[in-house]
Amino acid sequence: MLNQHKILRVLKLISYLEQSPSKSIGHLAEILDSTERTVYRYFDLIRECGFDLQRDEHNRFYIVDERTNGVRFTQEEAQLLKELVLKHSKQNKLKDSVLTKIYLGSEIQMVASHLVNAKNGKVIERLALSMGNKEQVILRKYQSINSETISDRLVEPFGFTDNYQTVMAYEIDSKKNKTFNIDRIAYVDFTGKPFKNSKKFQNQVPDVFGFSYSGKTHSIDLELGLKDILLLKDQYPQTSPFIHYNHRKNTYQLKVQVNDMKPIERFMRGIEINLIKE
């Protein structure tokens, strides 16, 4: 029987693996404050629970999210179906498969994301207090996608972007205005020190992939099929306004200016891998 601490770790791992981009085993071990060997054991458990855990060409891991497909059940409907399956199919080998599909097609799936959302709420609350008091804070264990490092960041936060996905802040060490993804902040510590760089604050509006301006922009003009465009919108919802249907070619066009090409390059490599598998 799993103890509560292990359950929370596994739920947290599932939630991170469902979020783009894919993660290395070392990065996941740091996130969970655990060992790589333990993470591999969690992987076995996740697969046994029916999740489609995959590895990309860079030896990084991710979970294929199937929630956008098929029928959706309310929590009450899913609970009833679960009880019926357990009652009448105890010896049937298809039982676990059916239970997994019920889980993936219902609101029960939200359990893992609720764990992260509760943490994010606390992070946003403390950042808002910092802005109101004009007090420097430390973003503890911030997870950087570019460098794949986890480090503490001393910052002066001055605003949130749409939907509170990122916080705009002046970073003391780099002496730059940056945006920090709320999901990747473990927690926020107050320092008791006042802002010293208010005159240097500049709004950093992130692009559709969440990257802030760093002195150069790039143009994306892609033609994609329906399946690929649905995957793109699922992973990066903010791309939706920049996607248009081409009736003549029966394709979809993504045309947008971005601050960094890495996310779309990773996405296109993922499409190529899927095509090879098929």
What distances in angstroms separate CA 246 from CA 101, 229, 243, 250, one per listed residue?
35, 13, 10, 6
| Residue-wise pLDDT tens digits, 145-197 | 766 788 999 999 988 876 677 888 999 999 988 888 888 898 899 999 999 99
Question: What pLDDT is attached to residue 121?
Answer: 77
Contact by Cβ (8 Å): 159, 206: no
Phi, psi of 62 (to 5 degrees): -160, 160
pTM of the model: 0.48
Residue 16 burial (CB count, 10 A): 21
CATH annotation of 4-64: 1.10.10.10
Contact by Cβ (8 Å): 273, 228: no
**113-200: what fold?**
SH3 type barrels. (2.30.30)
The encoded tokens of residue 194 equal: 């006042």
Do the domains at 4-64 and 113-200 have one common CATH topology? no
User: Which among 47, 15, 212 is positioned nearest to 120, based on CA atoms?
Assistant: 15
| Residue-wise pLDDT tens digits, 37-59 | 989 988 888 876 667 788 888 88
Residue 199 in this model has a pLDDT that exceeds 70: yes
| Residue-wise pLDDT tens digits, 113-159 | 444 555 677 788 889 889 889 999 999 999 887 667 889 999 999 88
Cα distance between residue 234 and residue 228, in whole Å: 10
Question: What pLDDT is attached to residue 81?
Answer: 58
Domain ranges of the chain: 4-64, 75-104, 113-200, 218-277
| Residue-wise pLDDT tens digits, 91-118 | 444 444 455 555 444 444 444 444 455 5
